[in-house]
Amino acid sequence: MKKITVLKIMVVLLFIGLISCKSEAKQVKKTLPEKRPNIIFMMSDDHAYQAISAYSNHLIETPNIDRIAKEGIKFTNACVSNSICAPSRATILTGKHCHIHGKVDNVFPFDESQMTFPQLLKEAGYQTAMFGKLHFGNNPKGIDEFKILPGQGQYYNPDFNTNEGKITVEGYVTDIIMDMTLDWLKNRRQEDKPFMLFSMQKAPHREWLPAPRHFKEYTKKTFKEPETLFDDYEGRGTAAKTAEMNLLTHMNWAGDSKLYPEMMKELGIKDMSGWDFEAFDREVGRMNAEQRAVWDSVYKPMMEDFKTKYSTMSKTELMKWRYQRYMQDYLGCIASVDENVGRLLDYLEETGLDENTIIVYTSDQGFYLGEHGWFDKRFVYDESFKTPLLIKWPNVITPGTTNTEMVQNLDFAQTILEAAHVVPPADMQGESLIPLLLGNDDEWTRDAVYYHYYEYPGIHMVKRHYAIITQDYKLAHFYYDVDEWELYDRKKDPQEMKNVINDPTYAEVVVKLKKQLLELRKQYGDSSELDQEILRKYLEAKNNPDIETVPLH
Ligand code: SGN
Ligand code: CA
């Protein structure tokens, strides 16, 4: 045969081979392994994705949390349905939107009649345990063994509610929660059952207090400022302008910036919240003599130095100083979260337990790290709306996968149940992420998510709003106190600096999204009547001390 003919034949064969490979890949869908996996659900409180190096390393390196991303999947568009603590947790446990499970804000108690996914896992034969911060106002249901922080919990020498009553443990909260997690794995895990283990950190929640071993290192660091630190909220709506979460004007001096109360007195500074001293005493006041000595050796000279400069500092300088102070403490907290994630991953690897264990790392919502001049969360804008989500599952998830779909905390319950071969109840409102974990991405059809924030009037004064979010746009309705719509072009304006609701170029987009939003509200069972009813109850409770609510502290 001539050389040229052989070559032709080879090309044709190669082509046929390629086609058959492709159609085969289409046919062979990955399925769940038969053996039921163990599940470890790690969640930190207020851990912004900007502070995880798998997402961005402009602030801190988190090598251990990153291991989960490297060995599993990283979701870059994971979000919450209501950016605040207890509502997010209730949504995670029930797989339902807040207006259905009742925990619309941090104030009202959780509806105890709601089914939570750990109850179903327990019924299906899973051993269940929970350590750390639940912040729910209730003890968890369906949990064999728990040690949870009451309310917001404390950073130093914290109290815990357990199955056997209240205990106090000496040490730093993040280390203690991981000690409890490891102790359970080592000593009380039943080998004949799969397990569902919750390990939920309090850090880095306000007031952002690091472990004593990190005081020195982190207070010496200087961090990159966000581009929008000096945002004047021009081009946004009333809600952004009236929110009380600005680093310069709304942070507490003692509790947040850690200025000693007596120095505040000397300088004649008062906190807007009126908490001046209480906030400092609540945490720093709990330290034992040893912890306090390390604190004073680092924070006192830093504050003495500030005291000498304060009266000559401009507003810009003060803002910069407060931003650095904030980041030093917040990221100091993240350092110990990351170290402790490493302890857990090491243990699982050493024992081989990692082989059949799903590991989830997430936060109850995002957080502002100075973007728009803010701290805290609540808004549907990206830094608080999006949340980190990393999942590792050996032999199921392809290591190093990045996924950009709009997945939500609403989806976690159904995902975990399906992974455990339990059929989720029909009234859950999320969508299982299993197709995305298996790599069967074409089975995923969601193109928009729904959001609703309620806690107003209240701390930080973020107005009530609901919203629809697609990959391209975000349309929000601030409906109480004002009646304002906002539209952001997510592709052109990722920092959400310009509300384009009245820009004629977007007229068609607005009509389409308003219609889709109405449909979503209907689909999920939300409505204006319900909004008014919830608001009425909230205002009534605010004005009537006899109505039972869960205080924030
Ligand atoms: C506390 C914080 C607030 C925070 C709420 C809710 N103040 O009240 O800044 O927004 O909790 O947080 S603090 O100075 O007392 O810490 S949440 O995580 O529980 O939703
Ligand atoms: Ca939170």
CA distance 193 to 37: 10
Predicted local distance difference test score (pLDDT) of residue 552: 38
Residues with CB under 6 Å of ligand 1 are: 45-46, 84-85, 106, 135, 205-207, 255, 279, 376, 459-460, 552
Predicted local distance difference test score (pLDDT) of residue 272: 75
Predicted local distance difference test score (pLDDT) of residue 8: 60
Task: Report the 10 Å Cβ neighbour count for 183.
Answer: 12
CATH 3.40.50.300 matches 38-209+334-447: no
Cα(206) to centroid(ligand 1), Å? 6
CATH 3.30.1120.10 in the chain, residue ranges: 453-542
Predicted local distance difference test score (pLDDT) of residue 13: 52
| 287-326: pLDDT as tens digits | 999 999 999 999 999 999 999 999 999 999 999 999 999 9
Q: Which atom of ligand 1 is nearest to the CA of 377?
A: 10
CATH 3.40.720.10 in the chain, residue ranges: 38-209+334-447
Predicted local distance difference test score (pLDDT) of residue 12: 52
Which of 466, 472, 440 has its CA nearest to residue 453?
466
Low-confidence ranges of the chain (pLDDT < 50): 1, 18-25, 551-553
CATH 3.30.1120.10 matches 453-542: yes
E strand segments, 388-427: 389-392, 401-403
CA distance 307 to 263: 7
Cα angle 387, 390, 393 (rounded to 5 degrees) comes to 155
CA distance 144 to 331: 33
Predicted local distance difference test score (pLDDT) of residue 371: 98
Of 91, 110, 206, 284, the one to substitute when testing ligand 1's pocket (max ligand atoms within 8 A of C-beta) is 206
Predicted local distance difference test score (pLDDT) of residue 58: 97
Strand partners, 478: 465, 484
Single pTM value for the model = 0.94
Q: Please tell me the residue having the least CA distance from ligand 1 atom 20.
A: 85
E strand segments, 223-283: none
Predicted local distance difference test score (pLDDT) of residue 112: 86
CB 209 within 8 A of CB 283: yes
Predicted local distance difference test score (pLDDT) of residue 22: 46
Predicted local distance difference test score (pLDDT) of residue 5: 57
| 14-70: pLDDT as tens digits | 555 544 444 444 557 899 999 999 999 999 999 999 999 999 999 999 999 999 999
CA distance 81 to 100: 12
